[in-house]
Each structure stands twice: as structure tokens, then as C-alpha cells.
Amino acid sequence: MLTINHRFVLEFYKEDGTALGQVPAEDVDWEPARECALFDSARQAPGDVAAEDTTTTIEPVPHPSAGAPYIGGFRVAITADGSPLAACEFPSDYFKSCAQRAAAGLVEQGVFQAGEKFRYLVSAYPQMREKAKQEATAIVMKESIVAVPMKVSRLEDYTRASMTIGDGDGADMPVFVPQAVLDEVSELTRAAEAVETGGVLLGHVHRSDATAFLAVTAQVPAKHTHADLNKVVFTADTWTAARSAIALRHQQELLVGWWHSHPGKFFCNAECPPEKRKACALQKNFFSGDDVAFHRTVFPKAFHVALVATNADSGIQFALFGWNRAILEQRKFNVLHCTKPAAVVERSVHETTCKS
Ligand SMILES: [Zn+2]
């Protein structure tokens, strides 16, 4: 059950502080925050988190300087049969995507111009108990939590055998991807040429003291995708192939994410001059709106990741996206077993060289 006894409102301002108006934050997706709180608890607890009947409560945290009704963030508390199971605080940045949608509405209404910079504050107001109760029951009835199976390992053993690449902070959880998986993804991306291709990532979640990390072990190409230049769609056969691979490999792997390619250099117009192609946004790493929607629906767990291979003029570039404190963003990752002497991890942004 999800209990929210507050109504959240976004207040928009111009850069110079002029008020632009208020919009209720009605379409907040609380699930990533709930997942993050559960994962946080699972990696710290000696036993695995699993419960039948849970209640999730969202409580505002007052803004440190502006005070109530403004909030600095919110707290997610999860209880199972009345006992505390997990609790976690999140900053008001969590409302960013909601604010962007609301701002687009204000642009349509002509309140401000598209591209004009804005600021926003989030405020919270108590709701009538009865109404809150009704809404709470209308959202989710009963939720059970299935524990994430975690292997007990030593993080140092992995960091010693790897090197960090990529943008973003990745503070939430270290992620390790074997060089062999990147090599396979490169090959499939090149072979697919102008068409997007993809696959599923297998791996394990590990616990090392109070921290958790993810280690990808293999990729299963999605042979049965409906692919075209702009989109890769996984079919039921993709999932069957991934499950068969897990069964055949006998390593009790989990589906830890997915990968797909962006045929960047084919997105670009061939007649485009080289300098322009070099600066082209389509040849850079990005996660599209479709990618975000797919990840949120199919890979909502806090440990789920998405690897993007961009086939650019300069070679294949890798970027990893994942949940960082419940916000989906680009993150750092570690290439495992870069054993080839000075093998180049193909990535042109910082010309990263992978040295053994
Ligand atoms: Zn994409």
C-alpha cells in the first residue's frame, strides 16, 4: 500500500525571481524511490529483504532555508506488518522530470517562452485524512517484496581487475562489465550497420560488507527484435532466449539490464561536412525518451542498467545508464579483465585507454 498524506505542488519562477505560477505535481512516479529504499536496506541488512504485506509512506522533508510548506526533499518509509523495513531520503531533484512536463504545459499556455530558463520550488500541503485514505487504496492494494539474491564477494577483488570509464557519478553502486561483453557488443553493433540492435545483460548482484555492486557476466543478443534505424523492440522470444541462456549456463544469473546500439554515424547525413559530423549530437551518447520509458517499464529495479553502444565516425563509444538515488542517469562503470596490454576501450569522448 502506498500512503501519501500530502499534496505536492510545483512553484515556478523566472531566473530573476518573478513568480510564474503553481502546478500540482500529480504524476510523480514514486516507484524508483521505493525500489532505491528497498535496495539500500537490502545491501546493508545481514539478511535478505522479503515481505508479504508492505506499506510505503511518502513524507515531505522541510526545506532547510525556506521552511514549510517548501520541501528540501521527501522520505520514503517502508514497513512490513507494522515493523520498519526500509527508509530513505531523497532530494527535491526527484521532481525534475515532473517539473519539466509541467513547464512544457506552462509554455503551451504562453506563461513563458520555450527555452527560457526557470527555477522551481516544491511545496507540500497536508491532505484531508479521508481523501488521502481513498487515494492510497486506489493506488496499490497489497505489495509483496521479493528479495534480490546477492552473492557475498569482495569488492576489492573486482576493482583490482578493472578500470573505471564513463561519465556521471555512479555513486550508488559500482558496476562491472567484462571487456569480452563490450567486444561482443561492438561486433554486433558494427554488423547491424544502419539498424539498431540490442540484447539482454546477465549478471549478479554482490554484497561486500555494507555495500552492493553489480557484475555483468554475459550478454544475450536479441535475435528476434523488430529493429529499424531508430528503435529496437524486444519480443517474447528475446526473453525466452535470455531465460534459456540462464538455465544453460548454470550460474543462477539475473537479468540485470539491457544493451542497444545507436547507429550514430548512419543517423547523420552523409553529405554533412566532417567538422559538423564531429559535433553532431546524434554521434554522442544519449538515452532517448523511448529508452527511458522502456527502462522504467522493463528494468525498474535499483540495480538494473542499460548499456548504449554508439557507432560513431570515431568508433564504438560506450555509455552506461542506470538508477542513481532513484533518478535514471548516465553513470560511471568499470571494465573488468582488460587484460590485453594497452587494449583500447573504444570510446572517443576522453580517448580512454585501457591498460592492464
Ligand atoms: Zn536508444
pLDDT, one tens digit per residue, over 163-196 is 888 777 767 789 999 999 999 999 999 998 888 8
Q: Hey, what amino acid is at 114?
A: A
Q: Would you give the end-to-end CA distance of the chain in angstroms?
A: 50
Half-sphere exposure of 169 (CA within 13 A, CB side): 7
Q: Cell numbers of 89, please?
A: 531520503
Which domain covers residue 237, as residue numbers?
A: 150-336
Whether 165 and 240 share a structural domain: yes
CA–centroid distance, residue 308 to ligand 1 (Å): 7
Distances (CA, A) of 333 to 94, 135, 168, 170, 313: 23, 40, 9, 7, 23
Whether 187 and 67 share a structural domain: no
Cell 520550488, located at residue: 121
Across all residues in the chain, what is the average pLDDT? 83
Q: Could you give the CA distance from residue 42 to residue 352 in angstroms, rounded to a whole number?
A: 34
End residue of a domain, out of 116, 145, 174: 145
CA–centroid distance, residue 35 to ligand 1 (Å): 24
pLDDT for the residue 281: 73
CA–centroid distance, residue 248 to ligand 1 (Å): 29
Residues 231-260 have a mean pLDDT of: 90
Q: Predicted confidence band at 355 (pLDDT cuts at 50, 70, 90)?
A: very low
More confident call, 288 vs 200: 200
CA–centroid distance, residue 205 to ligand 1 (Å): 25
pLDDT for the residue 270: 67
Q: Is residue 351 part of a domain?
A: no
- Helix (H, G, I), strand (E, B), or coil: what is residue 221? strand
CA–centroid distance, residue 163 to ligand 1 (Å): 25
Q: Is residue 350 part of a domain?
A: no
Q: Is residue 280 part of a domain?
A: yes
CA–centroid distance, residue 322 to ligand 1 (Å): 14
pLDDT per position as a tens digit, 23-66: 999 889 999 999 999 888 888 776 655 677 788 999 999 999 98
Whether 138 and 176 share a structural domain: no
CA–centroid distance, residue 230 to ligand 1 (Å): 7
Whether 128 and 154 share a structural domain: no
CA–centroid distance, residue 306 to ligand 1 (Å): 10
CA–centroid distance, residue 334 to ligand 1 (Å): 21
Residue 121: partners with Cβ closer than 8 Å, 6 or more residues away: 10, 11, 13, 63, 66, 70, 92
CA–centroid distance, residue 340 to ligand 1 (Å): 30
CA–centroid distance, residue 288 to ligand 1 (Å): 5
**How many domains is the chain built from?**
2
Q: Hey, what amino acid is at 224?
A: H
CA–centroid distance, residue 264 to ligand 1 (Å): 10
CA–centroid distance, residue 262 to ligand 1 (Å): 6
Spatial contact of 304 and 295, defined as CB atoms under 8 Å apart: yes
| pLDDT > 70 in the chain, percent | 85
Nearest-5° Cα angle at 295, 116 to 213: 110
Q: Is residue 355 part of a domain?
A: no
CA–centroid distance, residue 259 to ligand 1 (Å): 9
338 pLDDT above the threshold of 80? no
CA–centroid distance, residue 195 to ligand 1 (Å): 11
CA–centroid distance, residue 286 to ligand 1 (Å): 7
Residue 269, class by beta-carbon neighbours within 10 Å (0-12 exposed, 13-18 middle, 19+ buried)? exposed
Q: Cell numbers of 278, please?
A: 564531429
Q: Is residue 356 part of a domain?
A: no
CA–centroid distance, residue 182 to ligand 1 (Å): 17
Residues 7-20 have a mean pLDDT of: 90
228 pLDDT above the threshold of 50? yes
End residue of a domain, out of 145, 164, 189: 145
Residue 83: partners with Cβ closer than 8 Å, 6 or more residues away: none
CA–centroid distance, residue 58 to ligand 1 (Å): 32
CA–centroid distance, residue 207 to ligand 1 (Å): 30
Q: Hey, what amino acid is at 201?
A: L
Q: Is residue 193 part of a domain?
A: yes
pLDDT for the residue 32: 93
CA–centroid distance, residue 348 to ligand 1 (Å): 19
Spatial contact of 153 and 207, defined as CB atoms under 8 Å apart: yes
End residue of a domain, out of 102, 130, 145: 145
CA–centroid distance, residue 309 to ligand 1 (Å): 9
75 pLDDT above the threshold of 70? yes
